[in-house]
A = this chain, B = another copy of it.
Amino acid sequence: MNLAEFIEGRRDQHLAELCEFLRIPSVSAKSEHKPDIERASRWVADHLRAAGFKTVEIVPTNLHPLVYAESLEAPGKPTILFYGHYDVQPAEPLDLWTSPAFEPTVRNGNLFGRGTADDKGQVHIHLKALESLRQVNGKFPINVKVLIEGEEEVGSVSLWDYVQKNKEKLKADALVVSDTAMLGKGVPSITYGLRGLNYYQIELTGPARDLHSGVYGGAVPNPLTILTELFAKLHDKNYRAVVPGFYDQVAKVSKAERKALNALPWKRKEFEKAVGAPVYFGEAGFTTIERIAIRPTFELNGIWGGYIGEGAKTVIPSKAFAKFSTRLVPNQEPHKIAKLVEKHIRKLLPKAVHCKFEVLSTGKPWVAPYHAPIFKKAQSALEKGFGKKAVFIREGGSIPFVTQMHDTFKVPCVLIGFGLPDENAHAPDEHIALENYFGGIKAIAHFYADLAAL
């Protein structure tokens, strides 16, 4: 039986197993899910063993464990390091899910559930591709190292510590990651660029305590108003971030590359259908695809303060909060940007509030030389899995690990994503198209097989 037939015959079994993985609510941002995170790490380790890895380790960290496995039984063949994550975003707001976030459900050819696309479903594609190769050929065609972490959604702190201490162990000829999306339905894609990400939180304190808005209103500073006035000053009318120096390090993108990006089979209608906003806007002078692929952003991700319950409460609160982030592009340096942002925010704020400014995480942007041979192998393997030519894209999301690995090991990183842009990765009703999940297993199995001849 050939590889493709073998995989085709295992569809139901693969899907059932993925659902089992998805049922574990491995939310890394919430301490109450610590036991689930640990259960998920054991699940990954068990399934790596079942796939044929003899060396499998669950590595404890200061936060959530990571899982490492290796199989070095193909002397003379290339070694690849596959990276993924088993943790997921919080599922809130729960009431907006059509079916519960941690009860995976198939509807209209899609599998719904938190982690289906980001990233458990894609990790599972690799586990099943490797397992299938082993079962069909009796062994892995190349040397494989696997690193699956549990902190991707909260900044990958422990992972990086682990990599620094295990540089020799993790050495490989290439890094392979599936934590990105295809450009669109039926367009298999290889990502050669990612934006970096700094995530911030501020807490503004005005009055020392919550006040009655009748007894005090009009005569005391209101931190909610000051918060709104602050963020209103952080974009100009061209929707550029107003932080002095923010764009200084942005690398110029060649005309040829901008042309190639704009020529991609990207469909505005599909994009707008996925978003569902009344109108669209962004930084002046750039197309939608450029705004996401090659431009930095400054975005609010959450604001809160005062009374947010049912009904009315006439309060002037003591505190106001915001979570926000900057997406970064080459060659913006995250720590430098964080300093510029903090400095400008402190400058803009009036004396009427104290400000606690926190940088929750930083991450560098990345671009790859996508003409290298391994990228061509990836392109042909995708064609075998999906029957269509794959395109090269730059994505707006961030995978700090990719940059860090690239900087550390100076090897190519190949990002092959099986999600779709409208799959609600960080939102309610996250899902993955079953055709991409099943096609992904085939494509990745061919990719690993073909790498034997790299």
Contact = CB atoms under 8 A, between A and B. Distances in A.
Contacts of A195: 214
A109 interface: no
Contacts of A232: 228-229, 231-233
B277 A207 contact: yes
Interface in A304-334: 304-317, 320-321, 323, 325, 327
Contacts of A278: 206, 221, 351-354
Contacts of A101: none
Contact of A206 (B181, B277, B327, B429): B277
A235 interface: yes
Interface string A368-399: 00000000000000000000000000011110
A308 B280 CA distance: 25
Contacts of A301: 213, 224, 306-307, 312-317
A300 interface: yes
A275 interface: yes
A6 interface: no
Residues of A contacting B: mostly: loop
Contacts of A303: 224, 227-228, 303-306, 308, 320
Interface in A214-269: 214-222, 224-225, 227-233, 235
A225 B300 contact: yes
Contacts of A31: 310
A25 B405 CA distance: 56
Contact of A210 (B217, B228, B426): B426
A54 interface: no
A72 interface: no
A428 interface: yes
Question: Across chains A and B, which 3 residue pairs bring their CB atoms closest together, nearest first?
Answer: A208-B276, A214-B397, A232-B232
18 contacts: A31-B310, A96-B209, A118-B212, A154-B311, A197-B214, A207-B277, A213-B301, A214-B397, A215-B397, A216-B275, A218-B327, A220-B280, A221-B281, A228-B229, A228-B303, A302-B305, A304-B305, A315-B426
Given A213-B327, A279-B351, 5 more contacts: A89-B313, A213-B426, A227-B303, A228-B230, A312-B360
